[in-house]
Amino acid sequence: MRFANSNGELMNDDEFEIFLTAANDELTAKQALLTKTYGLGKHKRWMFENDEQAKLQFFNADDKLVLTADIVDIGSYSPGANTWKWAWAYESIKPVLKEQSLRIKELEEITDLIVFGEEKAFEADEYFAWELAAMAVKHLNALGCYRAFSAARNVYMFFAIVAVHEIS
């Protein structure tokens, strides 16, 4: 398998491993910074606001809105089925949100990995789901990622965080 490097030239397997390792390492550092700076992952609850721009809202112990995050919907991981599905492949996604999410599909051409263009759910474990999210976050130059469980759909949804706003 061959991959495109940052110069547009084809990467070899070793260069892709370096890219993937960098994406994973960067995501780990970004997640730590989001947790330290904003307490991400420690809020009482979250809510997905799906208007013209996708946002996550975070509420404190008093159920007061304290943080919002502009996001790009990456995809979802089903632990029951051990599958991943890209957000852009969901028919229910609004066109403006799909357009943002479609940027992730560019990774198919960059890496030559067909999974980035896969419209149907495909086999994945949780580790692979995090790797896909890490590469998406790196490609989108996002601040990090938020993984949220949807009991209604029995999936973990992955969102790239592109901006954070504290509410005073």
Name which of 143, 148, 136 is nearest 163 in CA terms.
Answer: 143
Count of alpha carbons within 13 Å of 154, Cβ hemisphere only? 5
Residue 88 three-state SS:
helix
* Under 8 Å between Cβ of 49 and 55: yes
Give the Å distances, CA to CA, from 141 to 26, 138, 160: 10, 5, 9
Q: Is the pTM of this model over 0.85?
A: yes
- Banded pLDDT at 61 (limits 50, 70, 90): very high
Name which of 97, 58, 91 is nearest 74 in CA terms.
Answer: 97
Beta pairing, strands 45-50 & 10-11: unpaired
- Banded pLDDT at 48 (limits 50, 70, 90): confident
Average pLDDT value for the chain? 90
134-159: string of b/e by CB count within 10 Å (b at 16+)? bbbbbbbebbbbbbeeeeeeebbbbb
**Mean local confidence (pLDDT), 91-111:** 88
CA 109 to mean position of chain CA atoms: 18
**Mean local confidence (pLDDT), 80-93:** 94
